[in-house]
């Protein structure tokens, strides 16, 4: 934070704030106390999506208030909520994934490939690409391309085709992770051993030892190599 | 151009020069007794100002972390006389308080076990510490690993203060939890043969942390939240619990919620209540920066305490060894332990290592504080703050050229925005408040000492002793979230709620008056206030 003050416009109202603050800390510096529009404060939860323009530039920009720094003559508003309802489904019972996708999200066919979504994404993701991959049936690519999605909803707020890209992506990732990448054999073997009670006595024995005995064993552990 | 000023680059030069030597250097782990010495000398919990005695309630006479005591000795923000308990707004079997990973897991299991469930939370569902977890979840799933080994590491990590019956449950359920999450469609990191990737975290003798890139908590949280919506479990957002309700038989029987937007209160009657309100970071214990989300203000501890639940190990706070120190905008944000688990080293201003990086967090943090505060080996920033280096380029050197981009894309991107290329340059770090080790005491079924009240996750005490191991918290919240959901649903089937009362709140306020304790704070705090000081002075209520 520096002593230099710069003008910013919060929902049209001018304030002079120190350079070097994030949009979120600048608003708090002004005197806002957030109820909405602030969650993790670390760029993970997508609560703080913000739209802004810079003076003299027509371009509409997007960022996370907890990450993006204030800039001189920034005109901003938060978009703390966007109506993105989702249709419930049963993950345990999906027979035909493509048919399910089209039933749950029929609007997916309305994607016109305009790319407005990619311009809005604060994570630099390209919903246009993961939606295209999904439509091609390449769900692996769709899952991987969308993985970093915070579900902030900014793409949905801009979508020409009225899609909710992040909800589509979540369905695809869940289906792909559950059904296309099967449960690993070593994990299944271990959970069977657990259910059979294989380790119960071993753990019980440790739990009943004296602290002194345990401290000795603790110092004698053999570590796997890095 | 690098994001580091020239003054800091001097030290980076030394770090580069010693890298070949450090790659071959082995630093043995400290024996338990040596670790204790280091902690007593340098861990913030041992500062004279860290803890204070609490003068009333179940832990009366004990020392607890100071910022919590201030809230425990504050008046309730609810005036019990102004509440009409005859007007019930919601009537359910199980009320879950808190919409992080622990709460959502509890809600799913309570519903599966036949209960009519409602979940209420302070911000949005998922705005929580859970969503921020990077490294992953611990479980002994590999053949060379076992629940016994996991037990031993957890107990020693917790400095032998964990409840042994509770950690027996923790390590038992761990592989089952990974299987459950995978079955719900969480996208775990996977080897080409289908096996799950596991990494080291400090204090574990085996690689056992299962990750979803460096967004593990986010992946678990969004999948569980989606599942909760799929199952149409009712949720209330921006409606924190501000007190618990009891009935005339001494059972926990619901809660008073506050709609933070309209300021209306709601009366929720429930046959069982699950507390999953998370941690304490936003109180800034010992005035440290924190990694925690905006709502981590110890509300659950305060309301459970007023209702008569005892706290365990609340003198023990976890400081994570590697919080960001530069750029200043990222102050206190977490640099995941998985960096060290994958070979990054800690280095002082002279280019020297000073601790085995895979010691437990209390130990590594204390070593970092010693390096800066006692030995004067910190690197000074233009803000006048100090830190030590985390040599991230080693991750690619020891792995392969793409490893940082593949596993730590978030870190690469976030520092990239400030002109720092963590593939080529180190990160400046300093300990940051991270986790509440103790909390409301629970048994292996997540039951507190109050009938009808369960606690799961960071708000609970006994699981982690006085120092948690990496990966053990995501595990904790799902193990005890699930167990609490199951138990609460069973308990709800057997019981009838008596006459509702807030007598415990009235009595608590009365005791404060009698003790002559008065401060101008009201609790639970709900949200921290980050307005600048001179503005706070001139705002009207
Ligand atoms: C940055 C970061 C990284 C981490 N990385 C890891 C990791 O890699 N592995 C690991 O095992 N652990 C990790 N942890 C720890 C772990 O994520 C948390 O301890 C755990 O997720 C806590 O889960 P929880 O459900 O108990 O609480 P939370 O997830 O914090 O959820 C609590 C919820 O309760 C709500 N709440 C609070 N007060 C009230 C109230 N009065 N009424 C209603 N609702 C309320 C909160 O807003 C929040 O939604 C990390 C933590 C942080 C902060
Ligand atoms: S893809 Fe959409 S919802 Fe996801 S982070 Fe980008 S803008 Fe937000
Ligand atoms: S904005 Fe909508 S319509 Fe346009 S490319 Fe993106 S998803 Fe398709
Ligand atoms: S507050 Fe969570 S992403 Fe900004």
Query: What's the ipTM?
Result: 0.98
Q: CA geometry: angle at B300 spanning A207 and B257, to 5°? A: 145
Residue B396, Cβ density class (10 Å: 0-12 exposed, 13-18 middle, ≥19 buried): buried
Ligand 3 atom closest to A160 (CA): 3
Q: How far apart are the first and last CA of chain A?
A: 40
What is the average per-residue pLDDT within A65-78? 96
Nearest ligand to residue A128 Cα: 3
Average pLDDT over residues A119-128: 96
B294–chain A Cβ distance below 8 A for any pair: yes
What is the rounded distance in angstroms from the CA atom of residue B517 to the CA atom of residue B514? 8
Q: What is the pLDDT of residue B520?
A: 84
| In contact, B138 and B204? CB cutoff 8 Å | yes
What is d(CA B3, CA B494) in angstroms, rounded to the nearest whole number?
Answer: 62
> In angstroms, rounded to a whole number, what is the distance separating the alpha carbons of residues B98 and B456?
10
Nearest CA in chain B to A2: B383
A-chain CB neighbours of B230 within 8 Å are 88-91
Residue numbers in A near B148 (CB within 8 A): 199, 202-203, 206
Residue nearest to atom 13 of ligand 1 (CA): B133
> Which pairing describes strands A49-54 and A74-78: parallel, antiparallel, or unpaired?
antiparallel
B-chain CB neighbours of A187 within 8 Å are: 141, 175, 178-179, 182, 196
Cross-chain residue pair A33–B229, CB shorter than 8 Å: no
Percentage of the residues of chain A whose pLDDT score is greater than 70: 99
Do the chains contact at A214 and B213, CB–CB below 8 Å? no
Point out the ligand nearest to the CA of residue B473: 1
CB pairs under 8 A between A and B: 211
How much is the CA Rg of chain B, to the nearest whole Å? 23
* Contact criterion met (CB < 8 Å) for B226 and A174: yes
N- to C-terminal Cα separation, chain B: 48
Question: What does each of the 541 residues of chain B score in pLDDT, given as a tens digit?
Answer: 678 999 999 999 999 999 999 999 999 999 999 999 999 999 999 999 999 999 999 999 999 999 999 999 999 999 999 999 999 999 999 999 999 999 999 999 999 999 999 999 999 999 999 999 999 999 999 999 999 999 999 999 999 999 999 999 999 999 999 999 999 999 999 999 999 999 999 999 999 999 999 999 999 999 999 999 999 999 999 999 999 999 999 999 999 999 999 999 999 999 999 999 999 999 999 999 999 999 999 999 999 999 999 999 999 999 999 999 999 889 999 999 999 999 999 999 999 999 999 999 999 999 999 999 999 999 999 989 999 999 999 999 999 999 999 889 889 988 998 999 999 999 999 999 999 999 999 999 999 999 999 999 999 999 999 999 999 999 999 999 999 999 999 999 999 999 999 999 999 999 999 999 988 899 999 999 999 988 888 988 6
Q: How far apart are CA B44 and CA B66, in angstroms?
A: 12
- Contact present, A9 and A75 (Cβ < 8 Å): yes
Enzyme catalytic residues of B: 320, 340
Which positions ≥6 away from B346 have C-beta within 8 Å? B321, B322, B340, B353, B354, B355, B357, B364, B367, B368, B388, B389, B390, B391, B429
Number of Cβ within 10 Å of residue B61's Cβ equals 9
Instruction: Tell me the chain B residues in contact with residue A195 when contact means C-beta distances shorter than 8 Å.
Output: 176
The answer to whether B262 contacts chain A (CB < 8 Å) is no
Give the number of the ligand closest to the Cα of residue A22: 4
**Model pLDDT, residue A2:** 61
* Contact state of B205 with A223 under an 8 Å Cβ cutoff: yes
CA distance A51 to A40: 19
Q: Which of B127, B188, B409 sits opposite A45 (nearest CB)?
A: B127
Q: Do B123 and A217 touch (CB under 8 A)?
A: no
Residue B523, strand partner residues? B76
The verdict on the CB of residue A20 being under 6 Å from ligand 3 is no
pLDDT confidence band for A226 (50 / 70 / 90) = confident
* Test site for ligand 1: of B78, B98, B360, most ligand atoms within 8 A of the Cβ: B98
pLDDT of residue B518: 85
Nearest-CA distance A136 → chain B (Å)? 21
Residue tagged 């311009």 (tokens) = A119
pLDDT tops 70 at residue A1: no
Note the pTM of the prediction, 2 decimals.
Answer: 0.97
Mean pLDDT of A153-167: 97
Q: In the prediction, which pLDDT does B1 show?
A: 60
Among B357, B363, B360, B334, which residue's Cα sits nearest to residue B432?
Answer: B334
Answer yes or no: do A39 and B172 touch at CB < 8 A: no
Order the strands of the A13-18 sheet from edge to edge.
A13-18, A5-10, A74-78, A49-54, A61-64
Pocket test for ligand 4, best of A41, A80, A151, A166 (most atoms within 8 A of CB): A41
Residue A117 CA, ligand 4 centroid: distance in Å: 19
pLDDT for position B349: 97
Taking the Cβ of residue A140 and every Cβ of chain B, the question of whether any pair is shorter than 8 Å is answered with no
Cα B274 to ligand 2 centroid, rounded to whole Å = 32
Question: Which residue of chain B comes nearest to A181, CA vs CA?
Answer: B194
- Contact at CB, A224 and B144, closer than 8 angstroms: yes
Alpha carbons B216 and B218: distance in angstroms, whole number: 5
Cβ of residue A194 closer than 8 Å to a chain B Cβ: yes
Please list the alpha-helical segments (H only) found in B113-163: 147-157
């Amino acid at each position: 934070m520096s002593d230099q003050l710069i003008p910013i416009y919060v929902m049209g109202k001018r304030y002079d704030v120190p350079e070097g603050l994030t949009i979120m800390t600048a608003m708090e510096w002004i005197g806002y106390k957030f109820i909405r529009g602030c969650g993790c404060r670390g760029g993970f939860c997508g609560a703080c999506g913000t739209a802004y323009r810079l003076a003299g530039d027509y371009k509409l920009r997007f960022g996370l208030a907890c990450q993006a720094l204030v800039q001189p003559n920034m005109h901003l508003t938060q978009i703390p909520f966007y109506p993105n309802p989702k249709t419930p489904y049963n993950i345990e019972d999906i027979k035909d994934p493509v048919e399910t996708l089209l039933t749950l999200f029929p609007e997916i066919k309305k994607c016109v490939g305009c790319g407005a979504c990619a311009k809005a994404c604060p994570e630099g993701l390209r919903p246009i690409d993961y939606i295209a991959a999904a439509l091609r049936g390449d769900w692996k690519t769709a899952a991987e391309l969308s993985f970093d999605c915070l579900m902030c909803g900014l793409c949905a707020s801009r979508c020409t085709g009225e899609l909710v890209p992040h909800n589509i992506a979540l369905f695809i990732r869940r289906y792909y992770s559950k059904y296309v990448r099967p449960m690993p054999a070593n994990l299944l073997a271990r959970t069977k051993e657990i259910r059979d009670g294989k380790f119960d006595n071993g753990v019980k024995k440790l739990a009943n030892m004296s602290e002194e005995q345990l401290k000795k064993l603790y110092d004698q552990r053999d570590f796997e190599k890095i | 151009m690098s994001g580091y000023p020239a003054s800091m680059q001097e030290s980076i030069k030394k770090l580069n020069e010693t890298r070949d030597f450090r790659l071959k250097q082995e630093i043995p782990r400290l024996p338990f007794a040596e670790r204790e010495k280091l902690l007593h000398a340098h861990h913030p919990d041992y500062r004279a100002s860290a803890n204070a005695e609490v003068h009333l309630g179940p832990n009366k006479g004990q020392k607890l972390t100071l910022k919590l005591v201030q809230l425990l000795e504050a008046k309730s923000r609810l005036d019990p006389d102004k509440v009409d308990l005859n007007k019930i707004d919601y009537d359910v079997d199980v009320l879950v308080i808190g919409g992080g990973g622990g709460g959502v897991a509890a809600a799913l299991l309570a519903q599966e076990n036949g209960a009519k469930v409602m979940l209420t939370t302070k911000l949005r569902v998922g705005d929580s510490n859970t969503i921020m977890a990077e490294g992953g979840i611990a479980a002994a799933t590999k053949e060379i690993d076992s629940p016994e080994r996991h037990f031993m590491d957890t107990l020693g990590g917790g400095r032998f203060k964990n409840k042994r019956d509770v950690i027996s449950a923790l390590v038992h359920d761990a592989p089952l939890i990974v299987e459950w999450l995978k079955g719900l469609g969480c996208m775990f990191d996977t080897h080409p043969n289908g096996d799950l990737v596991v990494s080291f975290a400090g204090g574990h003798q085996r690689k056992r942390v299962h990750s979803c890139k460096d967004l593990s908590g986010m992946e678990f949280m969004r999948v569980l939240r989606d599942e909760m919506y799929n199952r149409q479990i009712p949720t209330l957002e921006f409606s924190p619990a501000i007190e618990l309700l009891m009935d005339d038989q001494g059972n926990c029987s619901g809660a008073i919620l506050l709609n933070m937007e309209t300021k209306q209160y709601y009366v929720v009657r429930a046959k069982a209540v699950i507390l999953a309100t998370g941690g304490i970071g936003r109180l800034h214990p010992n005035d440290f920066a924190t990694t925690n989300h905006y709502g981590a203000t110890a509300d659950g501890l305060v309301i459970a305490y007023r209702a008569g639940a005892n706290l365990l190990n609340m003198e023990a706070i976890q400081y994570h060894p590697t919080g960001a120190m530069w750029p200043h905008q990222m102050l206190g944000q977490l640099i995941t332990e998985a960096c060290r688990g994958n070979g990054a080293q800690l280095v002082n201003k002279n280019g020297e290592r000073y601790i085995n990086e895979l010691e437990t967090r209390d130990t590594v943090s204390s070593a970092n504080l010693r390096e800066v505060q006692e030995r004067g080996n910190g690197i000074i920033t233009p803000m006048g703050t100090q830190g030590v280096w985390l040599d991230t380029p080693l991750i690619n050197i020891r792995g392969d050229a793409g490893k940082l981009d593949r596993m730590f894309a978030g870190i690469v991107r976030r520092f990239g925005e400030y002109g720092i290329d963590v593939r080529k340059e180190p990160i400046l770090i300093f300990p940051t408040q991270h986790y509440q080790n103790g909390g409301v005491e629970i048994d292996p079924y997540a039951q507190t000492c109050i009938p009808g009240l369960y606690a799961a996750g960071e708000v609970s005490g006994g699981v982690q002793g006085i120092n948690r191991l990496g990966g053990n918290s995501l595990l904790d919240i799902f193990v005890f979230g699930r167990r609490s959901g199951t138990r609460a649903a069973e308990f709800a089937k057997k019981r009838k709620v008596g006459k509702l009362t807030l007598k415990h709140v009235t009595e608590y306020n009365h005791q404060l008056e009698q003790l002559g304790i008065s401060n101008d704070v009201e609790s639970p705090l709900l949200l921290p206030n980050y307005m600048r000081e001179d503005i706070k002075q001139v705002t009207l209520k």
